[in-house]
């Protein structure tokens, strides 16, 4: 089995025809017309790319309510800050919500091993870091600190952090002053 072949029993990727058919059904049943460019709730959300996290539903949001920035782990990187700067300065968002989760894939990798394996496979060392972590609560606190330290963000008064429990569906709030919770 090649790395790109899904294991038996897994869903296969959608075809172009599948995507077009699903889009037509969505337009007919759910599309509500064009929304304003600026997020209605003046909110930006930084979340993990994990497919088990229904971000809009978790937070009780509708399309058009918030900017959603997703990456592996939901960690605050330079590119996330770049997106947040545009979100705040050009689109008027004010609050930031960080959304990490339990059972994250980044807790299961070794940064050094993955970097080494990539260098061995390609002959190049990646210029980026993977931001692997062990504790999603500590990772949220680190991301909150990174946001507070950025000189480029306009609004830092309303930065909320959460860890989504993938087993129970609960959101657990994370605060900087709660260093004991892990």
CATH number of the domain residue 60 falls in: 3.40.1050.10
Average pLDDT, the chain: 92
The answer to whether residue 58 sits within a structural domain is yes
Strand partners, 70: 47
Which residue range(s) make up the domain with 158? 35-174
Is the pLDDT at 9 greater than 70? The verdict is no
- Our count of domains for the chain comes to 1
Kindly report the CA angle at 141 between 83 and 171, in degrees rounded to 5? 85
The answer to whether residue 9 sits within a structural domain is no
The answer to whether residue 179 sits within a structural domain is no
pLDDT one-digit tens code per residue, 67-93: 999 999 999 999 999 999 999 999 999
- What is the DSSP-derived secondary structure letter of residue 106? G
The answer to whether residue 144 sits within a structural domain is yes
pLDDT one-digit tens code per residue, 26-80: 899 988 888 888 999 999 999 999 999 999 999 999 989 999 999 999 999 999 9
Distance of alpha carbon 115 from alpha carbon 52, whole angstroms: 26
The answer to whether residue 10 sits within a structural domain is no
Strands of the sheet with 95-101, listed across from one edge: 66-71, 43-48, 95-101, 159-164, 171-174
């Amino acid at each position: 089995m090649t790395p790109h072949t899904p294991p038996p029993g897994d869903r296969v990727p959608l075809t172009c025809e599948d995507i077009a058919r699903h889009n037509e059904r969505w337009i007919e049943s759910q599309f509500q017309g064009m929304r304003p460019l600026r997020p209605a709730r003046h909110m930006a959300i930084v979340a993990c790319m994990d497919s088990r996290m229904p971000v809009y539903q978790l937070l009780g949001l509708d399309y058009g309510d918030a900017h959603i920035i997703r990456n592996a782990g939901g960690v605050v990187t330079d590119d996330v800050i770049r997106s947040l700067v545009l979100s705040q300065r050009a689109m008027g968002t004010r609050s930031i919500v960080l959304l990490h989760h339990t059972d994250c894939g980044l807790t299961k990798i070794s940064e050094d091993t993955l970097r080494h394996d990539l260098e061995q496979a390609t002959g190049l060392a990646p210029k980026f870091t993977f931001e692997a972590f062990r504790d999603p609560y500590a990772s949220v606190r680190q991301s909150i600190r990174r946001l507070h330290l950025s000189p480029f963000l306009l609004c830092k008064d309303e930065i909320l952090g959460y860890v989504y429990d993938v087993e129970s569906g609960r959101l657990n709030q994370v605060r900087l002053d709660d260093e004991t919770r892990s």
